[in-house]
Amino acid sequence: MQSFKNHSLTEDVVKAAKLKLKPLKGKEVSFTHQVSGEKVTGTYRGLKQMGGNSYAHIETGKGAHRVPPHHVHQTQ
């Protein structure tokens, strides 16, 4: 039963992150790159679906990244 509780908690976190991202479309956001550990800044272009999951589409000057919504933060 414990795994079901964790699953619903994860769903709640992702839902909250999606709501937080809605007004940020076209604005500067940042996230920590998983491999290098560096902070990456780019423009948030919206949510994209891949494999049944939602990802934030972030364009940097060099390319684009798809990041889980709960990893994205607004830059100030």
pLDDT value of residue 1:
44
Global confidence as pTM: 0.79
**For residues 8 and 33, which has the higher predicted lDDT (pLDDT)?**
33
pLDDT tens-digit series, residues 30-72: 999 989 999 999 999 999 999 888 899 999 999 999 999 989 9
**Distance from chain centroid for Cα 64:** 13
Residues 74 and 31: their CA atoms lie apart, in Å, by 9
Distances (CA, A) of 38 to 12, 34, 35, 44, 58: 27, 8, 8, 18, 15
Residue type, 6: N
Band (pLDDT 50/70/90 cuts) for residue 75 is: confident
Tokens (6 digits) for 35: 């491999």
Residues 5 and 18: their CA atoms lie apart, in Å, by 20
